[in-house]
């Protein structure tokens, strides 16, 4: 079994992939820089147990991280509890993708894994939309070339700024409202957050199509709130919550071979 670990700004997500590449379980931990390697190790071994596995069932581990300060403790937990040196997506790792942006090294490991997952699972060209702490749109052409992208605030990040920087607006659940016709502060905020964000998503996709002069690329969405928006627009073709794990599995296979 392969354990794939996505260390993001908000959560650390673990995926257990069996020999056939199927995902046997996924688990989330809040990302905290002050967790020790022992704490991460206990989380990991307990999640394995909950899925019916033991540490001996793990053949290898691959890590994708955008939070450098967490890496030391987490990597140490893999070595200590699984007796394995994890593969880390970064310089020197073969991905099969060709990154042609101004500074290829600046591309986040999570975006790279997402794009690999989209390209090898669904083909290209594709626009990969990841709805995470930040929202990213990344274009991959028909030959696996990552050539352009957009980075903006995630809806939760924007919402936190809204109620954090105003004296009388409360914290609200981010959800699709039943109507845009809000009649109280809570529903007004929910409608405003949801529909302005959805409108921005749709306009961004249309602008990519316009400037690339390409009506044919698929739009592949992933990330926590991706499902909500994917169900509310016909501009998103596929929602795949496990896209990053699929990309990491492809990258792992390339390097093992």
* Cis status of the peptide bond prior to 125, with omega within 30 of 0: yes
CA distances from 153 to 176, 193, 231, 253 (A): 18, 12, 21, 33
Selecting among 18, 60, 110, 141, the annotated active-site residue is 110
Q: Does 237 appear as a known binding residue?
A: no
Q: Does 34 appear as a known binding residue?
A: no
CA distances from 14 to 6, 95, 114, 171, 222 (A): 6, 20, 15, 29, 15
Q: Does 255 appear as a known binding residue?
A: no
Q: Does 109 appear as a known binding residue?
A: yes
For residue 118, how many other CB atoms are within 10 A of its CB? 30
Locate all alpha helices (DSSP H) within 129-236, ordered by sequence.
155-164, 185-212, 226-230
Residue 146: CA count within 13 A, CB half-sphere: 28
110 is catalytic: yes
Q: Find the angle CA(77)-CA(80)-CA(85) to the nearest 5 degrees.
A: 80
Q: Does 126 appear as a known binding residue?
A: no
Phi and psi dihedrals of 95, rounded to 5? -115, -20
Two tokens at 38?
């022992």
Two tokens at 213?
């002069």
Q: Does 7 appear as a known binding residue?
A: yes
Write b or e for each residue in 189-199: b if 16 or more Cβ atoms lie within 10 A of its Cβ, otherwise e.
bbbebbeebbe
Q: Does 9 appear as a known binding residue?
A: yes
Q: Does 8 appear as a known binding residue?
A: yes
Q: Does 110 appear as a known binding residue?
A: yes
Catalytic center residues: 110
Binding site feature residues for substrate: 108-111, 185
Binding site feature residues: 6-13, 108-111, 130, 133, 185
Binding site feature residues for ATP: 6-13, 133
Binding site feature residues for K(+): 130
């Amino acid at each position: 079994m392969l354990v794939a670990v996505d260390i993001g700004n908000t959560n650390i997500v673990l995926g257990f992939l069996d020999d056939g590449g199927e995902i046997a379980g996924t688990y989330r931990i809040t990302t905290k820089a002050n967790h020790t390697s022992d704490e991460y190790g206990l989380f990991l071994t307990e999640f394995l147990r909950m899925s019916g596995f033991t540490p001996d069932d793990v053949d290898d581990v691959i890590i994708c991280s955008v939070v450098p300060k967490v890496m030391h403790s987490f990597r140490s937990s893999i070595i200590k509890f699984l007796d394995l040196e994890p593969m880390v997506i970064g310089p020197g790792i073969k991905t099969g993708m060709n990154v042609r942006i101004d500074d290829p090294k600046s591309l986040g490991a999570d975006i790279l894994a997402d794009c690999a997952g989209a390209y090898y699972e669904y083909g290209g060209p594709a626009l990969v939309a990841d709805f995470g702490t930040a929202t990213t749109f990344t274009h991959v052409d028909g030959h696996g070339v990552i050539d352009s992208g957009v980075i903006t605030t995630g809806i939760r990040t924007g919402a936190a700024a809204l109620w954090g920087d105003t004296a009388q607006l409360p914290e609200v659940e981010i959800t699709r409202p039943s109507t845009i016709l809000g009649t109280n502060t809570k529903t007004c905020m929910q409608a405003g957050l949801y529909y302005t964000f959805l409108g921005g998503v749709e306009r961004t996709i249309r602008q990519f199509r316009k400037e690339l002069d390409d009506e044919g690329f698929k739009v592949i969405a992933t990330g926590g709130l991706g499902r909500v928006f994917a169900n509310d627009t016909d501009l998103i073709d596929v929602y795949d919550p496990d896209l990053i794990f699929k990309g990491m599995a492809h990258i792992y296979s390339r390097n093992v071979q």
